[in-house]
Structures are given as structure tokens and as C-alpha cells.
Amino acid sequence: MAKHPAQARRDEIVRLATTTGLASVEQLSDEFDVTASTIRRDLAKLTAQGKLARTYGGAMSLAHHPEASLRQRLGEAHVAKRDIARWAAAQIEPGETVLLDAGSTTGALADEITASEALTELTVVTAGISAMGALSDSPGIDVIGLGGRLRPLSQAFVGPLAESAVQRLSFDRAFMGADSVHAERGICEADLEQTRLKELMMSRADHTYVLAHAAKLGQSPFHAWAVMPARWTLVTDASATPDALQAFRDNGVEVVVAPRRD
């Protein structure tokens, strides 16, 4: 059975992005003799499927580093994420307003907050569906969800509506997730909309914590980066190597190794 023309075009877009590197909207529009709007819709769908990463004016291939879905990441480094989340929850004071980024580790933090009897009169702002679900029935916790466009792979809201909401808020603490985190480059993600939102979140927080287990340190799987604030804290797990941690310390980053759960 022949492929639907739109699917055949999208497959060819992925092939071109893989073989030539960057693919611009203008080039693809000329190549396939369709409007720029059609190409943008193709790129949006391919990005949501984890086959491409959006760039300004086009897209790039993720053939060598496909983005894992949130469901896939839930099964990775489970113990490490729980250790990190436990330490992070202990930093929150009753009455604070905190931001939980989307992700599996911040989802674990939401579970820790829910289980804590000490955290009351708390306001939690999040763009992550898993965090919203975990906190939705928690007494004494006011949950504010950031609206926007749902990104299926990360189960998170992104885009101008989410950005607008963040600009109207401030946070005592922001707990950030990351596909990876680099000592010099900052937080790495598959999509520029994600990094833009993360930058806004961090800019509105008094204290920023990046929650990342050891396997995410020093990696550069994608080409979209969030510029970090002047001061921030990396929270990782006990399996991180001394060299990996020292790279962050050498760049002025506060490093916390979460203790293992007893």
C-alpha cells in the first residue's frame, strides 16, 4: 500500500535532515512545492514524534539521539531519581511557592511533596502533567498548571501561553529537569521551545536546582540549550564520578550529591 503523500513527505524530510544536517522551512517548501505553513506543520509533528529537533527557521535530525518519551524515562535510574527527589523535597519550606519543571525526576519530587506531612500551605507551579496528577489531591497544596501546547513526548506544556504565565509569577525555588546538563553549556533539550521556557522559569526563581542523575552529566545529545542563571545548584546521585562533578565546580556551580536512601 502506498504511503499517504503527507507521510511520504515527512519521511523524506527526516531523510534530508539526517543527510544534510539542518533543513530550513524555505528549502523544504521549495523542495516539496508546498507552502511554508505546511512544512511547519510537518516539522511540528515530526518534533512531537521525536524524529527531529526544531531550530529557528527549520529543524535538525535526531537520528543518532532519539528523544526518549517520559514513559520510557520513568524506568531509568529509578533509585537515583528517588534519592535526588528526597533531598530536593527537604529544601522546601512550608508556605513557599515552588516551580516543578516537567520530567521524571521532578515527577518523583512531586510524589515526595505529596508524602510529606511537613509541607503545608505550599503553592506548586508546574507545566508537567505527571506532577499535576501527583499533587492534585494533596491537602494544603495549591497547584497552578501552566497552560500552552501539550508536547506528547515529555507530557508537558510549552509555547507562548506557558511562557506568558511564567512571566506573571515568581518562585522561591525552581526545580528543573534536563535531558542532559553540561558544566559550560547548561541544560540540553531536544526542542528550543523547552529551553526557552526553562530559561524563563529560572529567571523568575530565587534559587534554581537542576535535578539530574549521573548518566546525564556532561552529555550533549541535542542542539538546543538553556542558558543558566549566574548561580544555580546541580543535584545528582552518588554514582556520579569525581571528574564529572569537578567540571561543574570549576565553572562555579554548587554541586550536591544526594545521599542514598537507607
Report the pLDDT value the prediction gives residue 52, as an integer from 0 to 100. 67
CATH of the domain at 221: 3.40.50.1360
Is residue 125 a part of any domain in this protein? yes
SS3 239: coil
- pLDDT over 70 for what percent of the chain? 85
Weakest-pLDDT range from 50-54, 63-67, 163-167, 251-255: 63-67
Q: Cell numbers 506543520 label which residue?
A: 41
> What phi, psi does 194 have (nearest 5°)?
-65, -45
Per-residue pLDDT reduced to its tens digit, 49-77: 767 666 555 555 554 445 544 444 444 56
* Sign, Cα dihedral of 10, 11, 15, 18: positive
pLDDT score, position 20: 53
Confidence category of residue 164, pLDDT binned at 50, 70, 90: very high
Amino acid at 97: T
Shared domain for 31 and 78, answered yes or no, is no
* pLDDT tens digits, 78-87: 788 999 999 9
- Could you give the percent of the chain with pLDDT greater than 90? 56
Instruction: Work out the widest C-alpha separation in the chain, in whole angstroms.
Output: 61
User: What domain range is 178 assigned to?
Assistant: 70-257
- Judgement on whether residues 57 and 88 belong to the same structural domain of the protein: no
Output the pLDDT for position 73: 46
Evaluate if residue 239 carries a pLDDT over 80: yes
For residue range 189-210, what is the model confidence (pLDDT) as tens digits? 988 999 999 999 999 999 999 9
Residues 23 and 107 in one domain: no
pLDDT higher than 90, residue 128: yes
Average pLDDT of the segment spanning 141-159: 91
Please state the rounded mean pLDDT for residues 142-151: 94
Q: Is residue 15 located within the same domain as residue 98?
A: no
- Whether residues 109 and 218 fall in one domain: yes
Mean pLDDT of 29-37: 88
* 1, part of any domain: no
Residue 68 pLDDT: 47
Same domain, 48 and 164: no
Same domain, 206 and 253: yes
Q: What are 219's three cell numbers?
A: 552529555
172 φ, ψ (degrees, to nearest 5):
-70, -40
Helix (H, G, I), strand (E, B) or coil at 70: helix
> Between these two residues, 173 and 151, which has the higher pLDDT value?
173
How far apart, in Å, do the first and last CA atoms of the chain sit?
57
Together in a domain, 54 and 77 = no
Q: What is the pLDDT of residue 22?
A: 52
**How many structural domains is the chain composed of?**
2
| Domain contains 139 | yes
Are 96 and 116 in contact by the 8 Å Cβ rule? The answer is: no
